Chain A
Amino acid sequence: MSSIDFTWVIGGPQGGGVETAANIFAGACAGCGLKVFGKREYYSNIKGEHSYFGVRVSDKIIRSNVSGITMLVGFDAETLFRHADAVFDDGAIVYESDLSELKIDEVHTLDAQFKERLIKYLLSKNKPLTIQGALDAAKERGVVLYSVSFKEILANLSDETNNPKLRGMFRMQNVLAVSISIGLLGLPPETLLKSVGSIFSRKAEIAEMNKTAANYAYNFATVKYSKFRYQLSPIPKEEHTMMAQGFQSTSLGKIACGCRFQSYYPITPASDESVFLESNEIFEVENNRPGSTLVVQTEDEISAIGMIIGASLTGARSSTSTSGPGFSLMAEALGWAGINEVPIVVTLYQRSGPSTGLPTRHGQDDLQFAIHAGHGDFPRIVYASGDTEEGFYDTAKCFNFADIYQIPVIHMMDKFIASTVSTVKRFDPTKITIERGKLLEKIEAPGYKRFTPSADGISPRSRLGLENGIFWNTGDESDEAGHISEDPENRIYKMDKRAHKMELALEKIPKEDQAINYGISDFCILSWGSTKGPILDAIEMLNKEGYKVGFIQIKLLHPFPTQYIQSLLSGVKKIIDVEANQSGQMGSLLNEYLDRKVDYYILKYTGRPMTCNELFDSIKKIIDNKAEKKQVLTYGV
C-alpha cells in the first residue's frame, strides 16, 4: 500500500525504559518526515512484567498497526520468546547475545498458557526449548538475526569515554537498541540525536550521556553489521506535524475550549489526561489575564463527578476523565446532572471490562453502559471519537453540546487511542467554536426561575453567585423554581422538557458531526470509535485488490441518528458491524433503531486493538461470501 511500511517492536520488562526507547525511535523517524503509528501494550504491573511498544513507519498516512513485525528488538528473554514468531520472514531480530542459552522454564514471567503454546510450537519445529531455539525457528523462515552484546558496548563506551559509571548503566540498553536499529535502517544520526535530546530534555547531563551512547551505538551498527534489507530514508517533512498521544488530544481540547475545572480519581488509562492538564495548569489567554485549570484529585470517582457538577453550577466548564470501573461509580450522579440539567463532560477512556477486566488493555466495552448508565429516564449525549485528531476537536464539541442542551455528555475514547503515539496534523484551535447556549451573564430583574418553560425546552441557565439568579436544584423531581414537587402534571412537564432535548439535538447537530460517510458500497462497514484507523487502512488494502467496501463511522451514538444512518444505507446490500467488544454493542443499536439487521459482525475482544491485516482478511471473506455471520479477531500477544 505504501512504498515504506515498516514495523519496529521493542519489548522489555515494565519499568525498563521500553516506552522511552519507542518514543525515541518514533521521534527519530518522524523527524525524517516519516509518518509513525505506535502503540504500547503492557500488563497491570509497575515493574517486571512484559511490556512492548510497536512503531509502524510509513511515508504515507497510517492509522493502524499491522499483524507482524519487520524488526524486533529484545534485550530480555521474554520479548524474544513472545514475539520472535511474529517477525516477518524477511524481517530481522536484534537481540542480546547473552540470552541465547536461556530456557523457557527460566523465564518466570511467562504465563502457563503461553508457555504451553510456545513449547508446542518449538517442538513442532524440532527446536530446543531455548532462546536459540526460538531464534533458529525464525532464522529458518528467512529472518535475519543481529546478535548484539549490549554489555560489551557499554563496557567499550565506558572505556573510550573514560566514564566508568557507564559500564553499569544497563538502563541505557534501550537507547543503544534504538540507535543500533536506526543505524541498521540507514536513517541519518542527526534526527536520532535530536530525538534523544528532546526525550531527556528535562535533564541536560543525562541527555548528553544518552546522546553520546546513541552516537556510539549508531556508528557501531553501521560499521559492524551489513545493512538490513529494508532501508528507510528521509522524505520532505510536512509542515506543522506533531507527534502526539491520544490522551493529549482531549487534554488540549479541554484547555482550548475553556474547561477550567477537572477532577479525577487515578485510573488507567484515563489519568494521563488529568496529569497532563495539571502539568499545564497555567496558560496564556489572549488580551486577558493568565488562565488556569483547577485539577483536583478526589477520593473516588463519585467525588470526581460530584465536584464537577458543583463546579459547573458556578458556570465553569467542568469535566472528569475516567475508565469503566470509575464510570460505574458515577452512574448515580450522572442522573442528578440529568434531572437538574447541569452541563458536564465525562471523558470515558474505555478499556476491557467487566469489573477490573483487562485493566491495561483496549476495549470498546462501555457503549451500552454509557447510553444507559444511571437509573430513571434522562437525556444525555454519547459521542465517540475515532482517533487522536478527532479527540481534540470533538472535546470542544462535547462541551458545546453540554452547554447548549444543558445535559451530561459522555465522550467516548479508549485505551487504543490513549496510548497510541502518532504523527498528526497540528491541532488548530481556530477551528473550534465555543457555544455556551443559554448560560446567563447577568439577570436584571428578580423573578428568575431555573426551569421556566421555553419554546425549545431549554431554560436560561443562571450560575451560583449571579445576582437575581438564585435557583434551587434537587435530585427529587422539582417545579420551575427547582423546589421538590411530586405533582403529576409538573412531572409530565419536567420529564417531557428534558426528553425533548434528544429530539432537539438530533435536529441541530450537523449531519457531518453525527456520522462520517467515507463512501457507500454494496458492502458497508458500520463502526464507531477507534476501529476507524484499522478500517480505513484495511479499505485501502481492499481497494488495491479491487474490492469495494463502504464505511460509515457513527460518532453520535446517543441520541441515535436513525434517520441519517437509514438514509445512507438505502442502497447498501450488506451491513458489516466492526467493534472491539464481544456482543456487538453498536450492532445492537443498529438492530434496535434501523429497519434492518446487521448482516455480519467482525469483533475483537482480546484486549488488543485490531490490525488492518486481520480486518482486511475478514472483510475479504465476507465479500467473497466465505464468512460466518460473526468473525472474531485474535491477533496480538
Chain B
Amino acid sequence: MVSNVADYKTEVHNDWCPGCGDFGIVSAIQMALAEMEVPRHKAAIFSGVGCSGKTSHYLNVYGVHTLHGRVLPFSQGAKLANPEMTVVAVGGDGDGLGIGAGHFVAAGRRNVDMTYLIFNNGVYGLTKGQASPTLKLGLQTKSLPEPNVNQSVNPIALAIASGFTFVARGYAYDVRQLKDLIIAAVKHRGLSFLDVLQPCPTYNDINTRDWFSGMDNIDEMTNRPRPRIYKLEDVGYDPVVHIDSPQEENEKLTQALIKSNEWDAKIPTGIFYKNDIAQSYDQRMAERIPNYLENPPAYQEISAAGKSITDISKMLDKLEI
C-alpha cells in the first residue's frame, strides 16, 4: 500500500494564526505517517487542550482531543488496551509541563510504547499569551503585564529524569528534520518524547522565527545571521545506549542532560537520548500476561449469545466454605 500525505489530511478548516509553527508540525506528522505507511485506522492522534489540541482534527486518523493536561492518561489507556495502534500524543508546553506535569513524569516511568510531542512556544496562546512553564525567567513576552517571575522547566532534562527512553528536539520550521524525528520516535519501542520548538507569532515576540534563525546576531565578518538552532548529528553527538550496562546508560544520560542545558546562543535539535535496551511497558506486561500482545483488552472475546464466557469458577471455589 502506498500512502500519500493527502490521505492523512482532513477537510476541517484550520484556524491557527497565520505563520504559526503548528502548521509545520501537523505537516510533519502527516508526512511521517505517509512515509511509514501506517494504515489510517491503525493510527490515533490524541491531543491536549489549547491551540495544539486542534491537531487531532486536522489529521485523518482516529483523533481524540482530550482534556487540558490529560492527553497522556487518555493515550496511554488506549495504547495499553490496543497495542496494535500507532499512538501519538500531542499538546502544548502548558498542557504537558504545567497542568499535566505529573502525568509527564509518571508516563516516563511507565515507558509505554508511544510518542509524545510537545508544541513548545513559551506561552499560553489560546488564553492570550500568559507565561507557560518553558518561558525563561525574566522574559516579558508581548501580553505579560510584568516579566515572568518563574524559572523555566527544561523539558528535555525532565523527560530524561523521568525515564523516557527516546528524547529528542525538533523545530517547527524544519519540517523535514521533524518528520524524520517523528518516524524515529514512532519506531522506537517505548515512550518517545519530542520537544518541538514552535514559535507563537502572536504572543511570543521574543523567541520568534527570526530569533531562532539568529537575525539579532549577525556575524560581522560574513554579514550573515548566526542561527541558534543546530543539529546534534552535525557535531558527532551519539545519543544511543549501545550496551546494557549501567555505566553506559549513565554516560548517555549525563551527556544528554548537559546538552539539554544549551540555550540562547546555541540550541541543539535532534536526538538527545535513545535507549532501546530498556523494556517497554507492554514488554513487561507480556512477561506477566503471556498472551497480552496477541489478545489485548480491546480484542478479547467476553461473551457468546449475550452470556459470559469467562470462567470464574476457580475464584469462586476458593471462597466456598
CA distance A244 to B82 in the complex (A): 33
Q: Give the distance in Å from the alpha carbon of A430 to the alpha carbon of B54 in the complex.
A: 46
- The reply to whether A310 and B46 contact each other, CB–CB distance below 8 Å, is yes
Q: How far is the CA of A280 from the CA of B317 in the complex (A)?
A: 13
A108 interface contact, C-beta 8 A: no
**Complex contact A257–B321 (CB within 8 A):** no
The contact of B103 among A303, A313, A316, A426, by CB within 8 Å, is A303
Contact call A306/B65, Cβ cutoff below 8 A: no
Is there contact, CB below 8 Å, between A288 and B57?
no
Q: Is the CB of B300 within 8 A of A475?
A: no
Interface pair A464/B62, CB less than 8 Å apart: yes
A289 near B40: Cβ-Cβ < 8 Å = no
- Say which one of B69-77, B210-218, B244-252 lies at the interface with A: B69-77
In this complex, which of A252, A293, A312, A465 has the most chain B Cβ atoms within 10 angstroms of its Cβ?
Answer: A465
Chain B residues with Cβ under 8 A from A252's Cβ?
Answer: 312, 315-316
Contact at B65–A476, with CB atoms within 8 Å?
Answer: yes
- B41 lies within 8 A of A294 (CB): no
Contact of B307 among A430, A465, A483 (CB under 8 A): A430
The verdict on A283 contacting chain B, using a C-beta distance below 8 Å, is: yes
For chain A, what secondary structure do more than half of its interface residues adopt (helix, strand, loop), or is it mixed? mixed
Q: Mark B33-66, 1 if CB is under 8 A from A, else 0.
A: 0000001111010100100001011001111111
Distance of A280 Cα from B39 Cα, bound (Å): 35
> How close is A508's CB to chain B, nearest CB, in angstroms?
15
A222 to B202, CA, bound (A): 88
A260 nearest in chain B by CB position: B297
CB-based contact B298/A465 at 8 Å = yes
Interface residues on B, range: 35 or more
B304 within 8 Å of A (CB atoms): yes
Task: Give chain B residues whose Cβ lies under 8 Å from the Cβ of A281.
Answer: 288-289
B292 x A243 contact (CB < 8 A): no
Interfacial chain B residues near A469, Cβ < 8 Å: 41
Residues of A within 8 A of B74 (CB): 306-307, 309-310
- Cβ-closest chain A residue relative to B302: A258
- Cβ of A470: which chain B residues have Cβ within 8 Å of it? 40-41, 60-63
Q: Which residues of A contact B63 (CB under 8 A)?
A: 470-473, 482
B144 CB within 8 Å of chain A: no
Identity of the chain B residue whose Cβ is nearest the Cβ of A191 in the assembled complex:
B321
B291 interface residue, CB < 8 Å from A?
yes
Q: Give the most central of A27, A292, A312: most B CB within 10 Å.
A: A292
Say yes or no: A333 contacts B67, CB within 8 Å. yes
Closest A residue to B311 by beta carbon equals A284
Bound-state CA distance A435–B308 (Å) is 10
- Residues 1-45 of B at the A interface (beta carbon under 8 Å): 10, 12, 39-42, 44
Determine if A302 and B41 form an interchain contact, defined as CB atoms under 8 angstroms apart: no
CA distance A147 to B285 in the complex (A): 54
Q: Is A562 an interface residue (CB 8 A)?
A: no
A316 to B80, alpha carbons, bound, how many Å? 10
Provide the residues of chain B in CB contact with A314, threshold 8 Å: 78, 81-82, 85, 297-298
Residue of A nearest to B56 (CB): A472
State whether the Cβ of B258 lies closer than 8 Å to any Cβ in chain A: no
Is A165 an interface residue, CB under 8 A from the partner?
Answer: no
A208-216, A234-242, A607-615 - interface stretch: A234-242
A310 adjacent to B41 (CB under 8 Å): no
> Given A255, A291, A336, A463, which contacts B315 in the complex, CB threshold below 8 Å?
A255
* A484 interface residue per 8 A CB criterion: yes
Find the A residue at minimum CB distance from B44: A464
Question: In the complex, A312→B66 CA distance in Å?
Answer: 14
B289 pairs with A294, CB closer than 8 A = yes
Let me know if B311 and A283 touch, CB within 8 A.
yes
In the complex, the answer to whether A258 meets B310 with C-beta atoms within 8 Å is: yes
- Give the residues in chain B near A306, CB-CB below 8 Å: 66-67, 70, 72-74, 77, 103
Q: Does B235 contact A (CB under 8 A)?
A: no
Q: Residue B319 at the A interface, CB < 8 A?
A: yes
Residues of B within 8 A of A257 (CB): 302, 308, 310
Interface centre among B10, B42, B295 (most CB of A within 10 A): B295
Whether A48 sits at the interface, judged by CB under 8 Å, is no
A475 to B46, CA, bound (A): 12
- Chain B positions within 8 Å of A244 at CB level: 319
Assess the A303–B106 pair: CB atoms within 8 A: yes
A299 to B311, CA, bound (A): 32
Query: Hey, which chain B residues are within 8 Å of A242, CB to CB?
Result: 316, 319-321
Instruction: Flag whether A261 is at the interface (Cβ < 8 A).
Output: yes
Evaluate contact between A260 and B306: CB separation under 8 angstroms: no
> Is B302 in contact with A283, judged by CB distance below 8 angstroms?
no
Q: What are the residues of chain A within 8 A of B319 when measuring CB–CB?
A: 242-244, 248, 426
The answer to whether A468 touches B41, judged by C-beta atoms less than 8 angstroms apart, is yes
The answer to whether B321 touches A237, judged by C-beta atoms less than 8 angstroms apart, is yes
When C-beta atoms are compared, the residue in chain A nearest to B320 turns out to be A242
Given A294-B297, A315-B298: A307 in contact with B103 (beta carbons within 8 A) = no
CA distance A263 to B80 in the complex (A): 11
Residues of A within 8 A of B300 (CB): 258, 260, 285, 291-292, 316
Q: Are B316 and A310 in contact (CB under 8 A)?
A: no
| Alpha-carbon distance A241/B54, docked complex (angstroms) | 55
CA distance A294 to B282 in the complex (A): 11
Could you tell me the distance between the alpha carbons of A294 and B72 in the complex, rounded to whole angstroms? 17
Which residues in B have their C-beta under 8 angstroms from that of A305?
Answer: 73
**Chain A residues within an 8 Å CB radius of B308:** 256-258, 396, 429-430, 432, 434
Given contacts A298-B106, A464-B298, A474-B57, contact A286 B304 (CB under 8 A): yes
A467 within 8 A of partner (CB): yes
- Partner pick for A336 among B67, B102, B288, CB 8 A cutoff: B67
Any A CB within 8 A of the CB of B233: no
Bound Cα distance A472, B72 (Å): 17
Determine whether B222 belongs to the interface, using a CB cutoff of 8 Å to chain A. Answer: no
Given contacts A243-B321, A258-B300, A258-B303, contact A318 B77 (CB under 8 A): yes
Q: Which B residues touch A464, using CB under 8 A?
A: 44, 62, 78, 82, 85, 298
CB-based nearest A residue for B70: A306
A221 at the interface (CB under 8 A from B): no
A315 CA to B62 CA, complexed, in Å: 13
In this assembly, does A13 line the interface, its C-beta being within 8 Å of a C-beta of chain B?
Answer: no
Q: Say if the beta carbon of A31 comes within 8 Å of chain B.
A: yes
CB <8 Å contact, A423 and B321 = yes
Is there a chain A Cβ closer than 8 Å to B174's Cβ?
Answer: no
- Report the bound CA distance from A244 to B316 in whole Å: 9
- What's the Cα separation between A310 and B63 when bound, in Å? 11
Q: Is A22 part of the binding interface, using a Cβ–Cβ cutoff of 8 Å?
A: no
Min CB distance A420 to B, Å, is 14
Q: Roughly how many angstroms separate A155 CA and B73 CA in the complex, as a whole number? A: 56
Q: List 10 A-B contacts (CB under 8 A).
A: A237-B321, A242-B319, A255-B315, A288-B309, A289-B291, A432-B307, A464-B85, A470-B62, A471-B63, A475-B65
- Give the interface of A toward B (CB within 8 A): 27, 30-31, 237, 240-244, 248, 252, 255-258, 260-261, 263, 280-294, 296, 298-300, 302-318, 332-333, 336, 396, 423, 426-427, 429-430, 432-436, 463-476, 482-484
Q: A290-B291, A305-B73 are in contact. List 11 more A-B contacts (CB 8 A).
A: A242-B316, A263-B77, A283-B312, A292-B297, A312-B77, A433-B306, A434-B302, A463-B298, A470-B40, A475-B49, A475-B67
